[in-house]
Amino acid sequence: MSELEIDADSTALLVTDPQIDFLKPESVVWDKVGETVEENAVVDKIRRLRDAAREGDVPVFYSPHEYGDAEYESWEHLNTIDQIMFDTRMFDVAGDGADFVPELEPDDNTVVLSPHKQLSGFWSNDVQIQLRQRGIDTLVLAGMSANLCVESHLRDAVENGFEVLTVTDATAAAGEEALQAALTNYGFIAHETAETDDVVERLAAAE
């Protein structure tokens, strides 16, 4: 697997769902994801990636999840993960769960994409147009959850012609088995996989 060039003019750090309902103990699904979030120190690793991107003048994009009463009350065709989120009112804009975790609050270097309503923003938010309009063709991908939104963004980014470096230890999942399944798939789909320590150095040096 070749090493991707991280160029500040054409690379972005894309973080999926850096929100309370995936990354903090007050999450409505902490019983499912909390153990691997803490084991992998996901919040701290994403923070380090973001700070390094800022240092290297690499733009940061957040692809968040969000739902309101209109969705919770009217959606009829829910898959399993939809049902879990709707049963718990995960990412409810009326509460705190959809808020960004305090350590990862957006700054002037952050583009907050419109909320994605399915697992991949390439189907349900403005991720692709926002990247293309800025001349981005290479992504450093991290966030939550490993086998759901991260993997879905990875697959669709590759299908749409982006080159993707997936950060394997800046993510977590609902249990070790789900996490390992995602990491296996990253190895087949991504153009490169690497760990946070390596990627932080490369992002910071991008400028």
Query: Residue 2: is its pLDDT beyond 90?
Result: no
- Which amino acid is present at 144? M
* Mean pLDDT across 9-27: 98
Q: Which residues contact 128 (CB under 8 A, 6 or more apart)?
A: 121, 122, 160
| Cα–Cα distance for residue pair 120/170, rounded to 1 Å | 18
| Three-class SS state of 44 | helix
pLDDT at 124: 87
Describe the crossing of helices 42-55 and 196-204 by its angle, rounded to 10 degrees. Answer: 20
Query: 34-43, 119-128, 187-196 — which is least confidently predicted?
Result: 119-128
pLDDT at 1: 63
Q: Where are the domains of the chain?
A: 11-204
Q: What φ, ψ does residue 143 adopt, rounded to 5°?
A: 125, -155
* Mean pLDDT across 162-184: 98
Can you give the pTM of this predicted structure? 0.97
- Which amino acid is present at 69? D
CATH number of this structure's domain 11-204, picked from the four choices 3.40.50.2000, 3.30.9.10, 3.20.20.190, 3.40.50.850:
3.40.50.850
- Structural tokens at position 20: 């309370």
